[in-house]
Amino acid sequence: MVCSPLGAESSNKSPVANLREDIVLSCFLPSDSQAGTSVGRVSVTWTKEGLGGLVYRYTDGAADLRDQNEAFKMRTEIFPDAIANGNASLLLRRVRMSDAGVYGCAIGSSGGGGDVSIHLRVAAYSAPAFTRSQRSLVAEAQRWFPKPNVTWSDLNGNVLNGTVTQLSQNSTGTYHLLSTLQGVSTQNSYICTIQNQLVSAVATATITGKRR
């Protein structure tokens, strides 16, 4: 009896990468299609929509990068120990804005095969750091993109007024953020939420004593 291919899968088809950091694009064969595979009998091809050349290729037990696009040289790899189990996930290093787009992962093996599309989105985000000044609480975040919105609230979820937010865009296009909440008091906690259409960061600051 011949088993039909079960297709490739991904645990996250719409991942968001943090600019200049690494990300793993998930791609694997379901467990039922992995029986009898070996490293030498698995082939993997990663492509990107609209890109000339390949993102990555693995065949005959080794990487084959002859047709790799220049933009991905020295920035991509897969996990050799995982290949034998049908895991063809791609590690993409030092993510750039230009890396955003639709990627295709195609796997072939003796036990099955298939392909899956992954839509990679790129953002810049960082958690805020808090400082206290007089009766104000200041949240500072070094890098955000796209342009974020800031909301302050109490622990009950009530939105607080009396806030001033400043955003400055640097030469790389990312935003530096300073947001000030006025009228804070000791023994209280405040929640700062920074978010855009791709990601959000939520941080809580508790004021426990007098400002030095």
pLDDT of residue 5: 45
- Walking along the chain (212 residues) 10 residues at a time, the average pLDDT comes out as 60 97 94 53 93 94 94 95 89 97 92 90 96 91 96 94 94 94 91 97 86 47
User: Would residue 107 count as lying in a domain?
Assistant: yes
Among 204, 202, 206, smallest CA distance to 149 is for 202
Last residue of a domain, one of 95, 123, 151: 123
Are residues 52 and 90 part of one domain? yes
The domain spanning residue 181 has which CATH number?
A: 2.60.40.10
pLDDT of residue 32: 58
pTM given for the model: 0.84
Are residues 26 and 117 part of one domain? yes
Are residues 108 and 68 part of one domain? yes
Are residues 170 and 144 part of one domain? yes
Residue span of the structural domain in which 110 resides: 16-123
User: Would residue 147 count as lying in a domain?
Assistant: yes
Are residues 187 and 101 part of one domain? no
The label of the residue with tokens 């694009």 reads 25
